[in-house]
C-alpha cells in the first residue's frame, strides 16, 4: 500500500519537527560549519531574514554577528520549532524575531531586508518560483540572498546510508522523488538557476561547497534512530524489527567511523543572488 502524501505543514508541525527539536543540540553541532559561513555574511547587514530557521540557531548566530546595529528575523512553517527558537532567543537575550508562517506566501513588508540567508531551509517549498518571488519582494533593492542546499544523493552517500542499509527490512520506506520538496530538491544545478532567475533575482552564482562534518558514535545512534526516513519508520516499528534495522544501519555507517568519531563530507551548493536595484 502506498503511503498518503503528507504536506510540508503537516510534516514539520508533526513528526519531522519534533525529531528536529529532539535532535537540536546534535544538529546544531553537526551543521555549525554552515552556521558560521552564513553568520559571517551578516556582519555588514542590519536586517537579516533567515528562511526555514528551524529551532533558531542560524538566526541567533546572525543576530549576534550584527550586534546592536541589526536585528535577525527567522521564519519557519513549524510552530513547535518556532516556539523553541523564541525560547532560545529569550534565554540568550538575543534581539531576534521569529515568525511562524510559510515564507512562500507570507505577507512580508516590501523591501524590508538587506540580507536573506538559509541553511538547508529552502528545499521544501511546494512552489519554489512563487516562494523566491515572494522573498524578492521582501528584499531591499540590491539586497543579497545566500542559501545552502544539498547536492545530489549520489554525492552525499552518508545522508542516504541509513536508507540503503534498512531497505530490505523496511520495504515501505518512501522513495526519494527528484525535484519533489525535500532534502535533495535543489540537487540539479540548472533547475536551481531557473528557479532563482524566474523569480526575479539577478546575478545568480552557484558554486559547489564541500564541508567536512563530524559527530560522535553516541550522536550517530541518536541520528539514525530519530532523523530522516529511517528514523521516522523506526518510531512505528515493532521491537524486533527496530533492533534488526538498527544493527543493519550501524553496519552501513562503518566506513565513516574513525575511532570514536564519525566523519563525512557534506556536498552542497552555495547559491548567491541579488534583488534588482530598480
Side-chain-facing half-sphere of 255: CA atoms under 13 Å: 8
Rounded to whole angstroms, how far apart are CA atoms 242 and 221?
Answer: 13
Please, what is the Cα angle at 189 between 187 and 194, to 5 degrees? Answer: 115
Q: Which three cell numbers stand for residue 150?
A: 544539498
Q: Is-contact 116 133, C-beta < 8 A?
A: no
pLDDT digits (tens, 9 = 90+) for 165-180: 999 998 888 888 888 8
Domains and CATH numbers, the chain: 8-154+175-212+267-274 (3.40.50.150)
pLDDT digits (tens, 9 = 90+) for 177-211: 888 899 999 999 999 999 999 999 999 999 999 99
List Cβ neighbours of 61 (8 Å cut-off, separation of 6 or more). 35, 36, 38, 39, 42
pLDDT digits (tens, 9 = 90+) for 18-41: 988 998 999 999 999 999 988 999
CA distances to 81, 162, 165, 195, 225 from 247, rounded to whole Å, are: 30, 11, 9, 41, 11
Classified as helix, coil or strand, 216 is strand
Mean pLDDT within 49-73: 94
Q: Which of 229, 260, 230 is nearest to 11 (CA)?
A: 229
Rounded to whole angstroms, how far apart are CA atoms 116 and 114?
Answer: 7
Rounded to whole angstroms, how far apart are CA atoms 183 and 116?
Answer: 20
Q: Is-contact 49 118, C-beta < 8 A?
A: no
Query: Residue 3: what pLDDT?
Result: 45
Query: Residue 6: what pLDDT?
Result: 67
Rounded to whole angstroms, how far apart are CA atoms 230 and 238?
Answer: 14
Q: Which of 147, 113, 140 is nearest to 277 (CA)?
A: 140
Query: Residue 204: what pLDDT?
Result: 98
pTM of the model: 0.92
Amino acid at each position: 500500500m502506498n503511503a498518503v502524501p503528507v504536506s510540508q505543514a503537516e510534516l514539520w508541525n508533526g513528526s519531522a519537527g519534533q525529531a528536529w527539536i529532539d535532535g537540536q543540540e546534535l544538529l546544531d553541532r553537526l551543521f555549525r560549519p554552515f552556521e558560521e559561513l552564513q553568520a559571517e555574511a551578516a556582519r555588514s547587514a542590519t536586517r537579516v531574514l533567515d528562511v526555514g530557521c528551524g529551532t533558531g540557531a542560524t538566526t541567533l548566530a546572525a543576530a549576534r554577528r550584527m550586534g546592536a546595529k541589526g536585528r535577525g528575523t527567522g521564519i519557519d512553517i513549524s510552530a513547535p520549532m518556532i516556539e523553541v527558537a523564541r525560547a532560545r532567543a529569550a534565554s540568550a537575550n538575543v534581539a531576534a524575531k521569529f515568525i511562524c508562517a510559510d515564507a512562500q506566501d507570507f505577507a512580508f513588508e516590501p523591501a524590508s531586508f538587506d540580507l536573506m540567508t538559509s541553511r538547508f531551509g529552502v528545499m521544501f517549498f511546494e512552489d519554489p518560483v512563487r516562494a523566491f518571488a515572494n522573498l524578492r519582494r521582501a528584499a531591499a533593492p540590491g539586497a543579497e540572498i545566500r542559501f545552502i542546499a544539498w547536492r545530489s544523493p549520489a554525492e552525499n552517500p552518508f545522508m542516504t546510508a541509513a536508507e540503503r542499509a534498512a531497505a530490505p527490512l523496511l520495504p515501505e520506506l518512501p522513495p526519494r522523488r527528484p525535484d519533489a520538496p525535500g532534502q535533495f530538491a535543489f540537487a540539479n544545478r540548472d533547475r536551481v538557476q531557473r528557479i532563482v532567475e524566474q523569480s526575479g533575482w539577478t546575478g545568480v552564482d552557484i558554486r559547489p561547497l564541500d564541508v567536512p562534518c563530524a559527530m560522535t558514535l553516541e550522536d550517530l545512534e541518536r541520528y539514525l534512530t530519530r532523523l530522516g526516513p529511517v528514523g521516522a519508520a523506526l518510531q512505528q516499528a515493532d521491537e524486533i524489527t527496530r533492533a534488526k534495522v538498527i544493527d543493519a544501519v550501524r553496519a552501513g555507517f562503518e566506513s565513516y567511523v574513525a575511532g570514536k568519531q564519525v566523519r563525512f563530507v557534506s556536498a552542497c551548493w552555495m547559491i548567491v543572488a541579488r534583488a534588482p536595484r530598480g
